[in-house]
Chain A
């Protein structure tokens, strides 16, 4: 699986967009980019995944650069309940998500 790099922490005002970056410069052609989040003392929650094209679902949008070396998770209108640790993972043939340190997002009023 690709090694990913994320900033350790970010903060965002409630109601504003939260843009969480992830570098995955070693990602291979068949590896998907997955995003999970973990709210304190809970199991990780799947958010979104993509291969090449930008993706959007009810939770978030995922923007993947054309060279696929980085991506950005966008929470369009962050709420206090979006405070969590966000993990970006490159997942390919092994199908086993291995977690880095992630980004601790704090949404403040």
Chain B
């Protein structure tokens, strides 16, 4: 199946700093990517839908100025957590929809963010 990568796999940062997470589709083009967040022992929660060349669509309750999403190319979307705080510590997962394959969606391995 298609491969989606995320970088970094884990990051520890100080409170108040910004962290950028990259999501790449390695062998297919993805016009749409999705960002999820998962807290311990909970399910994945959709944060936003990232569309190549346009603004992201955020789910209710997700602050767009805090979670900046850029989808500059058909293979790369980035999520920047600005002014991170300990409550932003979570597992962030991206997924990409395969442009050439109806309704197929592939997930990245996730990024573990710890804010001290």
Contact = CB atoms under 8 A, between A and B. Distances in A.
Contacts of A42: 109-110
Contacts of A100: 43
Contacts, number: 44
B34 A44 contact: no
Nearest to A95: B103
B109 A101 contact: no
B105 A97 contact: yes
Which range holds the interface residue count of chain B? 20 to 34
A26 B24 CA distance: 34
Q: Which of B6, B43, B91, B110 has the most A CB atoms < 10 Å from its CB?
A: B43
Contacts of B110: 41-43
Nearest to A44: B107
A48 to B, nearest CB: 12
B34 to A, nearest CB: 6
A83 to B, nearest CB: 15
